[in-house]
Amino acid sequence: MRRFVLSLSLAFVMLLGYATSERASQAHDATPGPAAMMAMATHPIVGAWFVEVPDGALPNVFHADGTAILAVPPTYLDPMLGVTTFQGPLVGAWEPTSERGAHFTAIQALSDAEGTAMGSFTFEGYLLVSEDGQRFTADTPDARIIVRDATNAILADEHFPFPLTGYRITPGSMILPEGTPGAGTPTP
């Protein structure tokens, strides 16, 4: 009986070791090689951006390691869910599609005022950085959104036109288009 338990234990340890090495091998295979990492580190999308979208402006950061953070206002009246949702930043990943092009996907968790999970919002798009590296625009005429409820059931999966323009943020300066004063804006 002791030999059986010892054999079973040894088999378990060997199986665990194989599973761990297999998982490590898969993780290693998913890591870009040095050339891909250098291409990402020097890609013009890397940096901080102020992005104008149809309903506002948002700061975004695209990191040299292929991760991205897209900031949004903390609350939003969600027409799909029919409630005011509380939202954090979108966190995601990007990859180069060309010398100046990039493809990104980012996801955001949504909750109600009590902190109850309401679902998630996934946004996917393609960007093209200008030749001078100071602006980007949508590189395709459409973007993709996926809205899920708290059980991960898909409420919407749509492609639609999503015009946007990003302006690079640098210390001491930021190039923005000239604004038009709204009604009631005091003049100097």
Most distant pair of Cα atoms in the chain: their distance: 92
Distance CA 135, CA 131 (A): 9
Give me the pLDDT at residue 64, please.
95
Q: Whose structure tokens read 């998630």? A: 120
DSSP letters for 82-146: TEEEEE--EEEEEEESSSSEEEEEEEEEEE-TT--EEEEEEEEEEEEE-TTSSEEEESSS-EEEE
Structure tokens that stand for 78 in this block? 């969600």
- Pairing mode, if any, of strands 117-129 and 173-174? unpaired
Amino acid in the structure at residue 146 = I
The CB density around residue 70, as the number of other CB atoms within 10 Å, is 21
Residue 175 has pLDDT above 70, yes or no: no
26-30, 32-36, 81-85 — which one is most confidently predicted on average? Answer: 81-85
Of 72 and 176, the structure prediction assigns the larger pLDDT to: 72
In tens, the pLDDT along 37-83 reads 676 889 999 999 999 888 788 899 999 999 999 998 888 887 777 77
Instruction: Quote the mean pLDDT of the chain.
Output: 78
Q: Is 85 exposed, middle or buried (0-12, 13-18, 19+ CB in 10 A)?
A: buried
Name the CA radius of gyration of the chain, rounded. Answer: 23
